[in-house]
Structure 1
Amino acid sequence: MSSPRTTDSNHGTAIAVLALVGSMASLCLGTSFAKSLFQALGAQGTTTLRVGFSALILLTVWRPWRFSLSAAHARAIALYGAALGATNLMFYLSLRTIPLGLAIAIEFTGPLTVAVLSSRRALDFVWIACALLGLVLLLPLDAAAARLDPTGMAFALAAGVGWALYIVFGKRAGQAHGGQATSLGLTMAALVVAPFGVAHAGSALLSPPLLAAGLAVGLLSSAVPYSLEMVALKRLPPRTFGILLSLEPAMGALAGLALLHEQLSGRQWLAIGAIIIASVGATATARRASGAAAAAD
């Protein structure tokens, strides 16, 4: 018979898993909806509204001016925000010509690279091989792959580089107050992408219906996922959180199929699967190794 403490723990874990799944679903739904705005605003304008509204929401919630900010923290947050803005812009530019699930999978190579480089063990080469296999499967070697736009894939890879830099700079920015770093970082991101959005979409950015749609994208793609992720982070071990998050490319592919009617070939599903295996493996073994090292200390 299970104890009340065990039952509460299992209940908390179930809530955390549901919260993280809800976070990924909200993000994929928001991104799918954002893609439907490309015809009116372009990827640049859509990114501007998404990041801009996300920044306004977090500025309202955290009011970062209440906290002191050193010059060193300000520089770190500026770099973090610039990387965040570039990542969002490159990712949305990739969505113009390649399916959502593939764009997320290719983008995942960025944090995967950071995870692998943080631990130089022989096992890490297995995850590198899986990731490379996934990318090779996306090369134009058959009729289905040949239809993939190389420019779109390049933008997705650039988003992966931006995500890797976001992780590196985010660790430095995290030394400041968390809410302050996130809200000011997103403000910096909005300043980075706004010139591209204004140059491309112009006065369309001020259209009330499109502003409302941009607010919805900001909520679905940022405010709701970030809030649900905080619920999950409080209740899940980091390794479990990272492994579950690695399923996002598959959820993106399913969202693209259901909402955008993006059909993937068997080869492309295999590519997504290989990258997910690489991400899950790198996350699981990296966390286990760091936990073992901490236990040894």
Structure 2
Amino acid sequence: MGPVLLVIGSCTSLQVGAALAVHLFALGGSTGTTLLRLGLAALVLLVVVRPRVRAWTGLQWRAAVMLGLSLGAMNGCFYAAISRIDLGTAVTIEFLGPLTLSAVLSRRLRDLLWVGLALAGVLVLGLTGEHHGGSLDPVGVVFALLAGACWAAYIMASARVGRLVPGHGGLAVATAVGALALVPLGAGGAVHALGTPNGLWWALGTALLASVVPYSLELAALRRLPQRTFGILLSLEPVIASLAGWALLGQRMTLLGGLGVVLVVLASAGATGTAGRERRQGADGRERVDLTTPAG
């Protein structure tokens, strides 16, 4: 499979997993579903990766814990959002987080303009409402914005873990930490979901499709693609999320709503492409942050 198809497959798997999670909300709630997703994914990753945590320093542990907390918060807020607003809308709003982070770190007017374009797309979504004709649920919008902020924190924490912890041990431990952080809020819902006839299968499908499979495909793609190209391809995620919501959840989008998604995709691709050109030209030597991490 070519690297472009690997990225598209990763985005598709991630959003199909999110659509499956919506069906699980009725059994375990959004927080219980998040706990099941991260908990089962952590078990798979810990068994496969087998991180050598005994040799870790305190600095490595702190980095992994911070990544886990941001991962748990990001997924918890994202699932709370898609329990209230459409999948494509939530992912589109969530994209404001990494876009804003990229603009703040670069401090260039051009990147601020990309964020402005993305914000315009989100405002178009807010004005047009969703497929059922009503306005956007404000609580769902707030959760999507919080998920975006946590996504930005996740990007920074992930970069730190990547520098300090070799291999994928940091991700495996962070996923477990994220799951443990959600136990107080999601344990009741998770237990209830697992007690239903199909709850375990829904949860396992969500964990594999939304965590294990996309992470594996992205790793394979990054070994064969430049990060700039990878980031631009990842900008298709709001579109894929909208298609998954339409195909699996019956969530249709208005013409103006589709325009809002397109504006955010263009802004994300533009910001990623600009950052890639600046890295190749040397820019000013400051560290850049790529939009190369999964949403939700």
Structure 1 length normalisation: TM-score? 0.90
| Alignment partner of 1:230 is 2:240 | no
Alignment deviations for residues 231-254 of structure 1 (CA, whole Å, 9 cap, x no partner): 110111110000000100000001
Q: Based on CA coordinates, which of the two structures has the bigger radius of gyration?
A: 1
What is the Cα deviation at residue 212 of structure 1? 2.2
Instruction: Give the alignment partner of residue 201 of structure 2, picking from 198, 212, 219.
Output: 212
| Alignment partner of 1:165 is 2:153 | yes
Q: Within 1, Cα distance between the matches of 2:168 and 2:128?
A: 46
Q: Percent identity?
A: 42
CA contact (8 A) 1:45 1:205 kept: no
Q: Within 1, Cα distance between the matches of 2:154 and 2:104?
A: 15
The corresponding residue for 2:26 is 39
Q: Within 2, Cα distance between the matches of 1:203 and 1:75?
A: 32
CA contact (8 A) 2:128 2:256 kept: no
Secondary structure at the aligned position of 1:264 is classed as coil
Q: Within 1, Cα distance between the matches of 2:130 and 2:185?
A: 34
| Alignment partner of 1:26 is 2:13 | yes
CA contact (8 A) 1:31 1:221 kept: yes
Secondary structure at the aligned position of 1:114 is classed as helix
The corresponding residue for 1:149 is 137
5 Å-filtered alignment, 1:218-297, equals: 218-293=207-282
Q: Within 2, Cα distance between the matches of 1:77 and 1:142?
A: 39
How many matched pairs? 283
Q: Within 2, Cα distance between the matches of 1:243 and 1:20?
A: 10
CA contact (8 A) 2:27 2:192 kept: no
- Greater than 2 Å deviation, 4+ residue runs: 138-147, 199-209
Distance 1:209 1:35, change over 3 A: same
Once the two structures are overlaid, the 10-residue window that deviates more, 130-139 or 74-83, is 130-139
Alignment deviations for residues 137-193 of structure 1 (CA, whole Å, 9 cap, x no partner): 133477977521010011000000100001111111222123111000001010112
What is the Cα deviation at residue 132 of structure 1? 1.6
Once the two structures are overlaid, the 10-residue window that deviates more, 172-181 or 79-88, is 172-181
CA contact (8 A) 2:24 2:193 kept: no
| Alignment partner of 1:100 is 2:60 | no
Q: Within 2, Cα distance between the matches of 1:256 and 1:142?
A: 15
More helix by share: 1
Q: Within 2, Cα distance between the matches of 1:193 and 1:208?
A: 23
Structure 2 length normalisation: TM-score? 0.90
List runs of 5+ in structure 2 lacking aligned partners.
286-296
Q: Within 1, Cα distance between the matches of 2:231 and 2:126?
A: 27
Instruction: Give the alignment partner of residue 122 of structure 2, picking from 115, 135, 138.
Output: 135
Q: Within 1, Cα distance between the matches of 2:129 and 2:159?
A: 41
CA contact (8 A) 1:257 1:263 kept: yes
The corresponding residue for 1:7 is none
Once the two structures are overlaid, the 10-residue window that deviates more, 111-120 or 231-240, is 111-120
What is the Cα deviation at residue 122 of structure 1? 2.5
AA at the equivalent of 2:272? T
Secondary structure at the aligned position of 1:262 is classed as coil
Once the two structures are overlaid, the 10-residue window that deviates more, 118-127 or 217-226, is 118-127
Alignment deviations for residues 56-84 of structure 1 (CA, whole Å, 9 cap, x no partner): 01000111136611001111110110000
Secondary structure at the aligned position of 1:118 is classed as helix
CA contact (8 A) 2:92 2:122 kept: no
List runs of 5+ in structure 1 lacking aligned partners.
1-13
What is the Cα deviation at residue 116 of structure 1? 1.4
CA contact (8 A) 1:31 1:217 kept: yes
Alignment deviations for residues 254-288 of structure 1 (CA, whole Å, 9 cap, x no partner): 11011100011122111111111111010000111
Once the two structures are overlaid, the 10-residue window that deviates more, 167-176 or 144-153, is 144-153
